[in-house]
Amino acid sequence: MLAGGLVACGHPATAQAAAAVLAEGGNAFDAALAAMCAATVAEPMLASLGGGGFLLARPSTGRHQGQSLAYDFFVQTPLHRRDDGAEDFFPIDADFGPATQQFHIGIGAIATPGAVRGLFEIHRDLGFMPLRQVLEPAVTLARDGVRIDSMQAYVFGVLRAMLDSRESIRVRFTRPEQPGTPLAEGDVLRLPELADTLEVLAIEGDDLFYRGEIARTIAEECRTGGGHLSREDFEAYRVERRRPLGIDFCNHQLFLNPPPSAGGILIAFALELLRDGGFGEWGFGTAAMLDRLARVLTLTQRARVESRLHELDAESVSATLLDPALLSLYRREVAGQPSTARGTTHISVVDRDGNAAGLSLSNGEGSGYVVPQTGIILNNMLGEEDINPHGLRRWPENARMSSMMAPTLVLGRDGSILALGSGGSNRLRSAILQVLLNLLVFRMAPEQAVASPRLHVESDRVSIEPGFADAAVAALARSMPKAEIDRWSAPNLFFGGVHVACRDAAGRLTGAGDARRGGAAVRA
């Protein structure tokens, strides 16, 4: 096995943790797990062992050699909904600056976490290095501390209302000399309890979380404090191994996160709408390109609702949304009259042996509840409107929740491989789509593909980053007269954070971390 590789993710310290593991002989999957745990320290408002996520993997050796694999370790709704009126569940506003979004937090917003079980199951299947060695960089980071950068300081500001919700989280992430004021750029964050937890997990295994003291503590807090989870929820949790959704596009084979999650299928749907439409001939940023892209994003949003994704199983949703008749209908709409129509981090790794991993992890905005003596912030996924299509407080019992998270692998016919994905809630699918188009249609290098401006369409609002020509934006406004055109003054994490790692046919490694989310790319 060749040592080394490249990682692209949301924080330099996260990337360095993965690079250290690669340099010591770990494979891409060891590195992705090392980065995942380091992200819970360096990106604590976006990533936590109290949340869940997905891994798309392409092993180059071993029993899964040449197969694309999808691991679903996202959160599960509780087995039973409490109906005694004692639910701890309340709204907060996340303030992005130019826009705000409402979320619900509290103990009643916690779904069963999958991150710890995912960590262990993935390592058992694909890891090469001992788990204690994989976790060592995160343990050191949590104990020694990480300096808050501008991106994380911004996220603390966005989620200030969540940080103010409970004393247990306020004391960890606000300034001691200014109680209630979030940590600022340059402050040092230390999480010694989390360091201890990671060390003990490496020794005792995932049963500590799902059958031991941690599960007992959370279940009791939910019983007395207004939550839904019980010991049975933790004991019943399982990682789901799925077959990725595969499509061909621009002479590449794409593997996307499959249903029941929605992000991958919607990206596939959008790519089908753009196939054979002359999209690449117009050039990046032209009026025609923006018009077509905005219409496709609009129709993809409509398809998400009309196809009732949340009610279909994996086979049915693929057949329904990618059905040729439906695609034909939507293609006619794209070519016809003008249309009128949330906290995540991602890690991409390729190694010198050709293994590739795309891992997305989310804690939502966090419930505000920190498990005592562990440093683990639990998720608020039951309070996320984006992934509760039936409505808040109307989630089905004992169901794997859907997500927009869409780790993606791209295989070239020449043997090249790249991994990418994004944070950004409902906006991440449009971010990944646009970076894929930049890479495969406009043939940009990873750095340019990630840095180029983006747009996002939702309801009657078209949000646009700076960098597109005024004339092209004006033409878009004329073609969508009923839409509100919202021009942002600077690139923003609102538009996702796409991190790309690539190994070309000759074995050369390139990549890019998205500056919108403080991203970094590091070669080991």
Q: Which residues pair with 76 in a beta bridge?
A: 112, 400
Q: Kindly report the number of other CB atoms within 10 A of residue 351's CB atom.
A: 28
Listed residue (390, 81, 391, 400) closest to 236, CA to CA: 400
What is the CA 284 to chain-centroid distance, rounded?
26
Joined together, the tokens standing for residue 17 give: 């943790």
* Cβ(419)–Cβ(347) below 8 Å: no
In which element (H, E) is residue 437 found? helix 428-440
The secondary element (H helix, E strand) that includes residue 306 is helix 287-306
Instruction: Tell me, yes or no, if 344 is annotated catalytic.
Output: yes
Residues linked to residue 356 through DSSP beta bridges, in sequence order: 58, 350
Sign of CA dihedral 153, 157, 159, 161: positive
Query: For 14, left (φ over 0), alpha (ψ -120 to 50), or beta?
Result: alpha
Catalytic annotation, pick one of 344, 345, 408, 510: 344
Q: d(Cα 363, Cα 455) in Å, to the nearest integer?
A: 25
Q: Name the residue type at position 143.
A: R
Contact 132, 202 (CB under 8 A): yes
Sign for the pseudo-dihedral over CA of 182, 186, 192, 198: positive
The first and second tokens of residue 461, run together, are 């609002």
> Cα–chain-centroid distance for residue 255?
16
Among all residues, which ones are annotated catalytic? 344
